[in-house]
Amino acid sequence: MTAMIERNTTAIDTLGAETVRERTTRKRATRYLLAGLRLALGWIFLWAFLDKLFGLGFATEAKNAWINGGSPTKGFLTFGAAGPFQGFYNGIGGAAWADWLFMLGLAAIGTALMLGIGVRVAAAAGGLLLVLMWTAVLPPANNPFMDDHLVYAGVLALLAVTNAGDTWGLGRTWARLPIVRRLAWLR
């Protein structure tokens, strides 16, 4: 009887140890995956800022760069907007305030995500920017309502609720700042 109890206890202990090991591995893999997604989205925002600022030739030609007097919002919002909000976007395309807000938003969101600081604020601002970009061209070209802007916004929300800035980022250091401890939404 004692041997049978020992055998069953050993089987349970082994099963429990494997479960803990698997759970730890899964948590680590999840943290790294979320950190990778954070860095990827951060780079998407930061790259859009750099390309529009300097006209690196990917989405923006050098002659249309912001530093060369081009407008980062005029071309797309004036000629690319479509759907129910077209008039609104055509009206703000090329406005100095829209250019500044757009470029500051791209730079701040991209930098925060890359550094892993203020991820909640960056995710909220990035989600808003992405939803606005989604509404600029409705319906999307390849689907009745879903496109990459909404998927990215969803990923940003996931990053915000999982403290994704803590892995491969400065999130833990950021969280220790007195103002961030007082105002948790800054995390």
Low-confidence residues of the chain: pLDDT under 50 = 9, 11, 13
Structure tokens at 48: 């859009």
Structure tokens at 137: 């061209």
Structure tokens at 125: 């601002």
Q: CA angle at residue 30 from 25 to 35, to 5 degrees?
A: 130
Give the C-alpha separation, 45 to 6, whole Å.
Answer: 58
Q: What is the pLDDT of residue 21?
A: 84
Give the C-alpha separation, 62 to 68, whole Å.
Answer: 8
Place of tokens 């808003």: 128
Domain ranges of the chain: 32-186
Give the C-alpha separation, 135 to 137, whole Å.
Answer: 5
Q: What is the pLDDT of residue 163?
A: 94
Could you count the other beta carbons within 10 Å of the beta carbon of residue 119? 28
Q: What is the pLDDT of residue 73?
A: 97
Q: What is the pLDDT of residue 7?
A: 53
Q: pTM score > 0.75 for this model?
A: yes
Give the C-alpha separation, 118 to 185, whole Å.
Answer: 8
Q: What is the pLDDT of residue 20?
A: 87
Give the C-alpha separation, 94 to 70, whole Å.
Answer: 9
Give the C-alpha separation, 28 to 160, whole Å.
Answer: 17
Q: What is the pLDDT of residue 17?
A: 66
CB of 108 within 8 A of CB of 176? no
Q: Is 119 helix (H, G, I), strand (E, B) or coil?
A: helix
* Alpha-helical runs (H) found in 72-168: 74-75, 86-92, 96-115, 119-135, 148-161
